[in-house]
Structure 1
């Protein structure tokens, strides 16, 4: 790709936008909560415990409920996840992360629609958005959600 002055200008503006986001109230709150999370030894221990249990659970899950330790490991993993999620540093970080992601989604939507209404952009967290089927045929499930794949 040849670097034209237009492309260089777009890249410069994108860098400026990234700087504005980082120095915004939401961006600074995210960075502060990330720093607090990384420096919180108790939170790091809880994250480490959950990660190791999650890896163990993934190994056990290959056999499903037929694995002799399935119920115990499943329960321990869920308890460790809840314990980790309820810790103040983790909860504050997740809240700040969600707020920043919402801003980034809105910005990408505005940029995409400025280019063309046909540009696909993030439209929210699919975990929390329930549309009852994608109806676009591009959900990746092969039509099992009821879309027109």
Structure 2
């Protein structure tokens, strides 16, 4: 591929956009909340506890309802997640994370639709969310893919 002045200009503008995103208030808030979460001992204990519960949950999922501890593990996982989510540092981080995701989605949408309104833009981590149910499976689940 030959580098043209137009391609170099696009790459320069992409780099500038990336730098603007990295220096944005939304990104700074995300990094600040992430640091506070990582430095909070109580939040880290809750996260570690939830991760241990999640491992047990994954073991139980291999057998489903036939596992002898299925009901207890399911209750414990939900309780552990609720306790973790109720922690102030975890909640603040999740809000900052959601705001950053929304910010990046809006930028992706603007960039894609500046090229064409027909461009499908993944949002919130789900590819092709606008087609049918938003599962991104291309209709294999039975949804309507357009």
Scaled by the length of structure 2, what TM-score is found? 0.84
For residue 93 of structure 1, give the secondary structure of its aligned residue in structure 2.
Answer: helix
Separation in 1, partners of 2:72, 2:134? 41
How far apart are 1:148 and its partner, in Å?
5.4
Q: Counterpart of 1:23?
A: 23
Distance in 2 (alpha carbons) for counterparts of 1:136 and 1:73: 30
1:9 corresponding residue in structure 2: 9
**Runs of 5+ in structure 2 lacking a partner?**
none
- Distance in 2 between residues matched to 1:60 and 1:141, nearest whole Å: 30
Gaps in structure 1 of 5+ consecutive residues: none
Matches of 1:148 and 1:106 in 2, distance apart? Answer: 23
Question: Are 2:138 and 2:145, in contact at CA under 8 Å, matched by a contact in 1?
Answer: no
After superposition, the Cα gap between the structure-2 partners of 1:37 and 1:135, relative to the gap in structure 1 and judged at 3 Å, is closer
Shift of 1:137: 9.7
Deviation of 1:10 (Å): 2.0
**In structure 1, distance between residues paired with 2:67 and 2:125:** 34
Q: For residues 1-149 of structure 1, what are the structure 2 equivalents within 5 Å?
A: 1-123=1-123, 134=132, 139-140=137-138, 142-145=140-143, 147=144
Residues in 1 aligned to 2:111 and 2:100: alpha-carbon distance in whole angstroms = 17
User: By how many angstroms is 1:140 displaced?
Assistant: 4.0
Distance 1:135 1:37, change over 3 A: closer
1:5 Cα offset (Å): 3.4
Count of aligned residue pairs for this structure pair: 144
CA distance in 2, matches of 1:135, 1:46: 34
**8 Å contact 1:105–1:124 — kept in the other structure?**
yes
TM-score by length of 1: 0.82
